[in-house]
Amino acid sequence: MSLLLWDELAALWQSGDFRGVHDWVNERWSRTVQESPDGDADPFARFLQGLAFAALAFHFAEEQNGESAAIFVEDGLEVLSRLPPSYAGIEITPIVDALAELRERLPVTGLGLPIPPVVAGVRALRFSHGSM
């Protein structure tokens, strides 16, 4: 995908609409899985799945749903940390760093403590000139 095709995703991400980010990414993930002979093992599909997991982690954190946020933080880190620092024109490292920071800031389950605001750096979806 070229950088131009990421404009809509970037607008959703920068606005903090992480549920919208998930929906946008999930639609493209589904299409990729259907069209690729590798299905959900397709590298681009895995990348999209990692972005979707990250978006859900940030969304649930903002909604103060720590249990769900914790699940998707781990899922996002599992997928995205295996990618190079830049993939498909998107800088992965800042997303991985934000997920790791969120994991550290999540309160212990069951204590009823509020989740600190999602780190400001996550709002900046950064693009690179590298390729897959």
99-109 core/surface letters (b: 16 or more CB in 10 A; e: else): bebbeeebeee
**CA-atom Rg of the chain in angstroms:** 14
pLDDT for res 118: 60
pLDDT in tens, 13-68: 988 899 999 999 999 999 999 999 999 999 999 999 999 999 999 999 888 888 99
- 54 in Cβ contact with 87 (< 8 Å): no
Instruction: State how far the alpha carbon of 35 is from the alpha carbons of 6, 28, 52, 103, in Å.
Output: 20, 10, 19, 34
Show the domains of the chain with their CATH numbers: 3-123 (1.10.3450.10)
Instruction: Say how many C-beta atoms besides its own lie within 10 A of residue 95's C-beta.
Output: 26
Mean pLDDT, the chain, rounded, equals 85
pLDDT for res 45: 96
Q: 6 versus 108: which is more confidently predicted?
A: 6
Q: 3 versus 92: which is more confidently predicted?
A: 92
pTM: 0.86
Question: Per-residue pLDDT averaged across 91-108, rounded?
Answer: 88
**How far does CA 25 lie from the centroid of its chain?**
9
Q: pLDDT tier at 113 (50, 70, 90 boundaries)?
A: low
State the pairing for strand pair 86-87/90-91. antiparallel
Share of the chain above pLDDT 90, in %: 58
pLDDT for res 2: 44
